Amino acid sequence: MELAHAIIYLDLNQDKPKMNFWYPHDLPKGIRRFIGDECFSIISGDSSFIPEVLLIFPISSLKLKVLIKYFKREDSTKIGSFSKSAITFLFDEKDDHIYYRYMSYIDSYVSKAVSVIVDLENNESEEDLIYDEIVKLQRTLCELTDYLRSKSEYVSKPEEPSETTLGVKKLEKKQIEKKKFKVVVLGDPSVGKTSTILRFTDNVFLRAYIPTMGLNITQKIFDINKNSVELVLWDIGGQTKFEIIRKKFYEGMSMILVLFDLTNPMSFANVPKWHQDIKNYFKNDQKIKGYLIGNKNDLVKERIVSENDAVRLAFALDLDYIEISALTGYNIEKTFHEIASNLLKFKNIED
């Protein structure tokens, strides 16, 4: 069956998740249980914690992503005087960039539907009415996905290819070999990880900070020395609550980028912690290739961390150091092209 676009409504008040409703109705039990366990584990560490933004986590084996909307409502019979629920929506991982780019837009539709569902439940309405709203939300998200995908696609006017052009393209295709690398981006919350990635992939600056509670993945493909390089950037949330989940996403990485805020000395002091987190995962003396990146170098007057201190720390951790500005775009393109070039060199040495 088609798993993408399935929707699940969960109750998270017990010691394990309870499936209230799912659509389509033949969604396999194993998939439902896996998603329920993941949703439950994300918030199990703090009974009072409910993320306020949409979250995304991957099901790599199925090439799917899961969009999660947590919500709560007052309930004097529950611990903490409120009950917790979640609605999850499965989508194809190839559409990840759509949800990443239009997160707040999509969230407005999901939040509106959740508000209706909560009102229906508070008024003790028939279950069928509640389930109708969930199915309606599923259809809305399907339509939104199609619409936003069409907005994201750019179709240029095709030219009639000549025999010479076709020959050149065939030759170029033979010469260009695609290389794919996973790059994990780490650092304290609010240092500019997501903004840096968006500046590189979309040439925009994310002016509203949205905490990356779980994981966002974005990709960019470009050519370097007759090689087609695809960087898959894993923007992993920095909140302590998600330490256990975070470590699930280190496997298979080619390089790490550890970001800190040049105006925030605490984010700089925590850099060794992030580096050690990766080392603990590998549990051996494997060399970790990567960069220490100082963001917000446009804030000259507010700057606290000196370049000398940053260079010394990078040397101690055996990382390269570079400074950027996600706001102005300074050094962003250069940094990622340097990263891609070095990954190609490492790949050629290993081969």
Averaged pLDDT for residues 324-349: 87
pTM of the model: 0.54
Tokens of 225: 């020395």
User: Does residue 162 belong to any structural domain of this protein?
Assistant: no
In the three-class reduction of DSSP (H, G, I as helix; E, B as strand; rest coil), residue 154 is classed as coil
User: Does residue 164 belong to any structural domain of this protein?
Assistant: no
User: Does residue 107 belong to any structural domain of this protein?
Assistant: yes
pLDDT, residue 208, reads 43
Q: Decide if pLDDT at 173 tops 50.
A: no
Highest mean pLDDT among 12-16, 102-106, 228-232, 294-298: 294-298
User: Does residue 135 belong to any structural domain of this protein?
Assistant: yes
Q: Are residues 308 and 183 in the same domain?
A: yes
Q: Print the domain residue range for 242.
A: 173-350
Q: Are residues 11 and 148 in the same domain?
A: yes
Q: Are residues 191 and 120 in the same domain?
A: no
Q: Are residues 214 and 274 in the same domain?
A: yes
CATH code of the domain covering residue 219: 3.40.50.300
Q: Are residues 179 and 308 in the same domain?
A: yes
Q: Which of 123-127, 196-200, 213-217 has the lowest mean pLDDT?
A: 213-217
How many whole angstroms separate alpha carbon 328 and alpha carbon 225?
27
Helix axes 103-122, 127-152, angle to 10 degrees: 170
Q: Are residues 212 and 309 in the same domain?
A: yes
DSSP state of 156: P
CB-CB contact of 96 with 56 (8 Å): yes
User: Does residue 80 belong to any structural domain of this protein?
Assistant: yes
